[in-house]
Amino acid sequence: MDLTVGPIAFFWDAARVRAFYAGLARAPVARGVIGEWVCSKRLPFWQGEIPGAVEALAQAGKEVALSTLTLITLRRERRQTEDLFGTGLPVEIADMGALKYLPEGAPFWVGPTVNVYNEGTLEWLARRGARRVCLPPELPMASVARLARAGQDAGVAVEVWGHGRAPLAISGRCYHARLHDRAKDSCQFVCGDDPDGRNVDTLDGQPFLTVNGVQTLGRAVTTALPHVAALRDAGVSALRLSPQVGDFGALAAVYARALAGAEPAPMDVLRGLMPEASFADGFLAGMAGAQLSPEAG
Amino acid sequence: MMELVCPAGTPAALRAAVEAGAHAVYCGFADETNARNFPGLNFSRDEMAAGIAHAHARGAKVLVAINTFPRAGEAGLWHRAVADAAAAGADAVILADVGLLAHAAGAHPGLRLHLSVQAAAANADAINFYAETFGVRRVVLPRVLTVAEIAAINRETDCETEVFVFGGLCVMAEGRCSLSSYATGLSPNMNGVCSPASHVDYAERDGAQEARLGGFLIHRTPRGMSVPYPTLCKGCFTAPGGAQKAQTGHIFEDPVSLDATDLIPALEKAGVRALKIEGRQRSRAYVAQVVQAFRAAVEAAGSGAPMPHGILARLTEGQAATTGAYAKTWR
Amino acid sequence: MTRAFLLHLPPPPFAPALLGKGLSALLQGIARRHPSILVRLGAYGGADFLLDVTDVPVLLLMSPAAGRMRVFRRSAVPAHGAGIRGSLAAFLSMLHGVEDGDALFFSGALTISGDTAAVLALRNALDDAEIDLTEELAAHGGAWVHGLSDWLARQSGLVLSRRGT
């Protein structure tokens, strides 16, 4: 088992993006997925960083793929998607519709916002050329195990959401803009103020969700750490880490040590690294996604 | 005339919809294969066959929604649902999962396939992809598009389009939302339920009425006022400050329902083939009234007459109506 | 129309004790004549539903799977899995099915406690049964029923029949 780093979910400026990938090149991860995953309006602000980021990861011996948007609607977005397939790098589709642009026989990866819930879909994707599939975060362990087995039979590496606020929903509406009484078309890029997303609590003060432009994430940091052994036994080939603010290299190292079977109890290390965060593994444990299972300790 | 596609959660509602003038009725089996897997709703195999026969005898079609995503290892339940719908004489099945589409296209080549809104095919390329790959004949468009975008899609595809015009409103791209399973463990994609009643708790506390979902407070209203059903994305939340001003309110969507009556002529002009009414969980009385009103509106649109007004005001009582994403400002 | 009428009825001029008994008999009759309700309830049929009709002096505990209806004093609330509370008019409106259940529940005319899913299952099962209150009332022979039926007709000028609406 190894580590994949997913695309940056949040609106980071070019300097932050550059620093992130420079650091990631030194981190113990096997591959990275780069690209604007959430909102095409953000892309012009940081797309100049993409070639350098690809090069930094490739020179460090890591695999690289480019990500599509999660929700592709506009003509401009469709063109951008088509352009991705022309780069020669593997493309990770985040929207099933992106397959329309796939050149015949070209290999591709599948991200966690594509609905791969069963063997039929996984096998169909494999026949189309899928090489890696990161499963939707809401899948329970029982489904993960079956899909990992199906992936092994079909020659597809199956990944599981390993660390980060889980992507829960995508919308045509921008909630960040709405929080500022603006429409999406006049958003003034307010999502850039919140590099880990904007917190949403219940009226009685319980932390609940995170708003990130048109995307909604969980508030708790979803972690697969308590399930590493079970995932390995099931044949899962990688954990996906989602970029966040802070010392990402140290975070990746926690997961790398867990994959190597290290002691002490890695959840304690994770808590030490992110003392403000609350953690959840409910999806894998077959509970509500926001919950933390007893196995997590 | 555009086709009016109407909801039926029970055989009684199916009969009511047909009687009220539905061109087509959509419904599902009473299990996890459909996205309205609510307590006390939906059709047994016998009820489905009888419902289809009833509708056909009166010139109406029945579309069977099998639009959840089959659980790994248990796809047989979904495959049987497709086979049983075909055997019962369904005019089409409404599917979302790629694996299930591939299965249906292979195993039931004569069966008409519609792409569920749960597949969230939001642009012409995605729609053409499903049409070319699986022979999908109609796509139900996700509720994230403007009328102009719908018109543009229709110019670029031969696949029929169907859009929602009335009822509950998903603010997220359908079929791509795990908010419900984050709070409760049960999701539209896996279990066919959103904000399930099994995880709802109403209680009074400190003189206020509270509605919780999976333990999370979704609504709080003063005593004596009605408490809305705690549908997660329609809840009232707070975004604490920090760099910005704290905000409290309906952060995702106000408790509104969709009413696109006034847009029917524009949707027809945009090339939309069918209009869909949401509400398989609503009563047969509601279905009858809405269908009757929309049949009149569709006929008026077909003959260039103005849209009848105020006919549904009572049914959106207590709830503001919105035209949702069809107007660009909604975003 | 019928729904608006039902919700705005003044309380019926009957001895309160008689009302509780009569309502209990009416519901039992409905369950007997519409076995599909129990089928549609599925596992929720095993729940105990507390019916708190606010203008009736007693509480009713309905156990569909057991085919049982019990009457309790208001001072002795029995254990129950799900509760529905509202005026007699709102209850009859739900039974007769002329109004959308969502509207009744979420306008506050009927309030839910306990197992919300069981209540929704009951609502949906009742809706599918196409209950006609006039027929149900006519199926009863008791004096209270004739009185209620006459009173409903007097108040409304309508026939509470499915075929009449």
Q: What part of A 81-120 touches B (C-beta under 8 Å)?
A: 95-97, 99-101, 113, 115, 117-120
Whether C125 has its CB under 8 Å from any CB of chain B: the answer is yes
Q: Count CB pairs under 8 A between chains B and C.
A: 92
Range with the poorest average pLDDT among A90-99, A265-274, B221-230, C51-60? B221-230
Residue B200, helix vs strand vs coil? strand
Is C127's CB within 8 Å of B12's CB?
A: yes
Partner residue opposite B216 with nearest CB, options A123, A124, A208: A208
Higher-scoring residue by pLDDT: C103, A45: A45
Range with the poorest average pLDDT among A89-103, A140-154, C132-146? C132-146
What is the sign of the dihedral through the CA atoms of A115, A120, A126 and A129? negative
Range A163-195 burial, b when 16+ CB lie within 10 A, else e: bbbbbbbbbbbbbbbbbbeeebeebeebbbebb
Instruction: List pLDDT tens digits, range B316-328.
Output: 645 677 777 777 7
A157 contacts A220 by C-beta, under 8 angstroms: no
B159/B264 same-domain check:
yes
Q: Closest by alpha carbon to A259, among A4, A32, A10?
A: A4
B31/B107 same-domain check:
yes
In a domain, B174, yes or no: no
Res C157: pLDDT: 41
Please give the DSSP secondary-structure letter assigned to residue A225: G
In a domain, A243, yes or no: yes
B115/B14 same-domain check:
yes
Tell me, what CATH number does A30's domain have? 3.20.20.70
Domain boundary among B249, B281, B309: B249
Residue A164, helix vs strand vs coil? strand
Residue with the two structure tokens 């791509």: B176
Closest chain C residue by Cα to residue B225: C108
| N residues, chain B | 331
- Cβ neighbours, 10 Å, residue A268: 10
The alpha-carbon gap from B15 to the nearest alpha carbon of chain A, in Å, equals 35
In a domain, A93, yes or no: yes
Q: Count CB pairs under 8 A between chains A and B.
A: 228
Residue with the two structure tokens 């077909």: B302
Q: Which CATH number describes the domain made up of C2-164?
A: 3.30.1050.10
Instruction: List pLDDT tens digits, range A220-237.
Output: 999 999 999 999 999 999
Domain count for chain B, please give it.
2
Mean pLDDT of C1-18: 54
Domain count for chain A, please give it.
1
For the record, the structure tokens of C146 come out as 């004739």
Confidence of residue C164 (pLDDT cuts 50, 70, 90): very low
The alpha-carbon gap from A54 to the nearest alpha carbon of chain B, in Å, equals 28
Structural domain harbouring B237: 179-249
B280/B236 same-domain check:
no
Is A120's CB within 8 Å of B328's CB?
A: no
Domain boundaries, chain C: 2-164
d(C-alpha B251, C-alpha B238), whole Å: 8
Residue with the two structure tokens 């919950």: A291
In a domain, B236, yes or no: yes
Closest chain A residue by Cα to residue B331: A173
Q: What is the DSSP string of A33-77?
A: EES--S-TTTHHHHGGGHHHHHHHHHHTT-EEEEE--SS--SHHH
In a domain, B121, yes or no: yes
Tell me, what CATH number does B298's domain have? 3.20.20.70
Range with the poorest average pLDDT among A19-28, A56-65, B8-17, C60-69? C60-69
Name B14's Cβ contacts closer than 8 Å, sequence gap at least 6.
Answer: B8, B25, B27, B51, B54, B55, B62
In a domain, A206, yes or no: no
Res C4: pLDDT: 47
CA B238, chain centre distance (Å): 28
What is the sign of the dihedral through the CA atoms of A58, A60, A61 and A65? negative
In a domain, B92, yes or no: yes
d(C-alpha B196, C-alpha B202), whole Å: 13
B293/B204 same-domain check:
no
In a domain, A296, yes or no: no
- Cβ neighbours, 10 Å, residue C5: 17
| N residues, chain C | 165
Structural domain harbouring A6: 2-166+219-279
In a domain, A214, yes or no: no
Range with the poorest average pLDDT among A193-202, B305-314, C36-45? B305-314
B73/B9 same-domain check:
yes
Residue with the two structure tokens 């003060």: A205
B19/B95 same-domain check:
yes
B128/B243 same-domain check:
no
Range B256-289 burial, b when 16+ CB lie within 10 A, else e: bbbbbbebbbbbbebebbbbbbbbbbbbbbbbbb
d(C-alpha A41, C-alpha B48), whole Å: 47
Whether B80 has its CB under 8 Å from any CB of chain A: the answer is no
Confidence of residue C90 (pLDDT cuts 50, 70, 90): confident
Domain boundary among B249, B276, B300: B249
pLDDT (tens digit, 0 to 9) for every residue of chain B, 331 residues total?
Answer: 899 999 999 999 999 999 999 999 999 999 999 988 889 999 999 999 999 999 999 999 999 999 999 999 999 999 999 999 999 999 999 999 999 999 999 999 999 999 999 999 989 999 999 999 999 999 999 887 889 999 999 999 999 999 999 988 888 999 999 999 999 999 999 999 999 999 998 888 888 989 999 999 999 988 877 778 899 999 999 998 766 678 899 999 887 788 899 899 999 999 999 999 999 989 998 999 999 999 999 999 888 888 877 666 666 645 677 777 777 777 7
Please give the DSSP secondary-structure letter assigned to residue C163: G
Confidence of residue C153 (pLDDT cuts 50, 70, 90): low
Instruction: List pLDDT tens digits, range A128-138.
Output: 999 999 999 99
Domain boundary among B217, B249, B281: B249
Residues of chain B positioned with their CB less than 8 A from the CB of A174: 331
The alpha-carbon gap from B90 to the nearest alpha carbon of chain C, in Å, equals 21
In a domain, A54, yes or no: yes
d(C-alpha A267, C-alpha C108), whole Å: 46
The alpha-carbon gap from A77 to the nearest alpha carbon of chain B, in Å, equals 10
Name A229's Cβ contacts closer than 8 Å, sequence gap at least 6.
Answer: none
B264/B157 same-domain check:
yes
d(C-alpha C37, C-alpha C16), whole Å: 28
Please write down the long-range contacts of C3-9, taking CB distance under 8 Å and 24 or more positions apart: C3/B285, C3/C93, C3/C98, C3/C99, C5/C155, C5/C156, C5/C158, C6/C89, C6/C90, C6/C92, C6/C93, C6/C96, C6/C98, C6/C99, C7/C87, C7/C89, C7/C90, C7/C93, C7/C109, C8/C89, C9/C88, C9/C89, C9/C152, C9/C155
In a domain, B305, yes or no: yes
A179 contacts A167 by C-beta, under 8 angstroms: no
